[in-house]
Amino acid sequence: MFSIQCLGVGRGASNFLTGAPSTGYVLKRGGAPLLLLDCGAGIGLSARRHLGGALPDAAYISHNHSDHTGDLPLFLATRAPRRATLLCHPAIAEILRVHRLHELPSVGIDPARDIDWQLSDASDTITWEGLQFTLLRTRHAYACYGALLSHEGRPILGWSADSRFDGALYDRLAAAPQVILHGRDAPGGDHATLEDIDAYARAHPDRAFHIAHYGQSAYRFGAQNAVLLSEGDEISL
């Protein structure tokens, strides 16, 4: 019933330098686009390429780095006059309003009035369209929330967004049979290494791991249940 399609795995400069889209996914229900997960630079064009113009009217936003939100103001502007929906943590909503969506009033969109904000409650959950989003704070330099998605009480997808390796976080995400993790070849302060993810996947052979990266990795996983994601890949949930 549900699936998720990768719209891009590039770095922040990928769209500017090469035309490759940065980070974004589309959650589908019955094959129809339901929700974007992040909306980085170039994701709008990628979505139109893969979805035939059938963009959803809602997006979940993990954090405000441009490779995850670069196309967000345009996504919202092109939805007008339809009301768009944004799902996120209240801390992320505050950052978006000040630092990402400040230009929208110039095109006649009031972020407070014209966007349907679906924010997590005190338990860090959002219930929307029959889905439950359990928001999980990641280990990232900027405030960032991945999510565990459930339908009718059954976890269907764990998504880390950007995070350093964190076994406890991964354990929460791996409540779902399909897990998307973000990793990089080289060690760094903001992302898990592919080697760390490989080791975790080998220790959890009953889960499928799909790894978002910068799009240029030649890493070969030892774990049979881990693969690198590419633009256009679709995962049944």
pLDDT per residue as tens digits for the range 18-63: 889 999 999 999 999 999 999 999 999 999 999 988 889 999 999 9
Write down the pLDDT at residue 80.
83
pTM value surpassing 0.95? yes
The CA-CA-CA angle for residues 213, 66, 149, to 5°, reads: 60
Residue 16: strand pairing partners: none
Percent of the chain at pLDDT > 70 equals 100
Compute the distance between CA of residue 61 and CA of residue 93 in angstroms, rounded to an integer.
Answer: 9
The residue-averaged pLDDT of 84-113 equals: 96
CATH number of 2-236: 3.60.15.10
- Please state the domain extents for the chain: 2-236
Confidence of residue 97 (pLDDT cuts 50, 70, 90): very high
